[in-house]
A = this chain, B = another copy of it.
Amino acid sequence: MLKKIHHVGVVVPDLERALALWQGVLGMHLTKRATILDQGVKAALLKVGESEIELLEPLSPDNGVGKFLARRGGGLHHVCFATEDVERELAGARAKGIQLIDQKPRPGLAGMICFLHPKATRGVLVEYAQPFED
């Protein structure tokens, strides 16, 4: 069962300028920053209620986020739902014939994560995340 919107991923061309907008103008609170080399992104998380906005700047034009930026100029990229059991969600999606990007959960910024294939969800990139225990 999906518990909440964990975060909404937003691709940006420049993380510093994006932070100036989302923090400075829209008034959100920065909770975490990280450079994730194996995903090829610089990321920042901004808290709003029980959810976060995840700003993503690609480190390379060749990865998925870089290609999205080149194609769209940035914008809403994916929505991530929190679950207590990402393995079970993935197995459930697979049993329902949903096409997957990740065949098994992997560690990400939000916890153990997996992505469904946007072809399966009509153009919406959906991520499931089981947050790490604090």
Task: Show the binding face of A for B, using Cβ within 8 Å.
Answer: 1-5, 8, 10, 12-13, 17-18, 21, 25-28, 48-51, 53, 72-79, 81-82, 92-93, 96, 98, 118, 121-126
CB distance from A12 to the nearest CB of B (A): 6
What separation, in Å, do the CA atoms of A3 and B28 have in the docked complex? 10
CB distance from A19 to the nearest CB of B (A): 12
Inside 8 A of A3's CB, which chain B residues have their CB? 48-49
CB distance from A94 to the nearest CB of B (A): 11
- Grouping DSSP codes into helix (H, G, I), strand (E, B) and loop, the A interface class, with mixed when no group exceeds half, is mixed
CB distance from A8 to the nearest CB of B (A): 6
Partner of A5, one of B18, B49, B93, B118: B49
**Interface pair A98/B50, CB less than 8 Å apart:** no
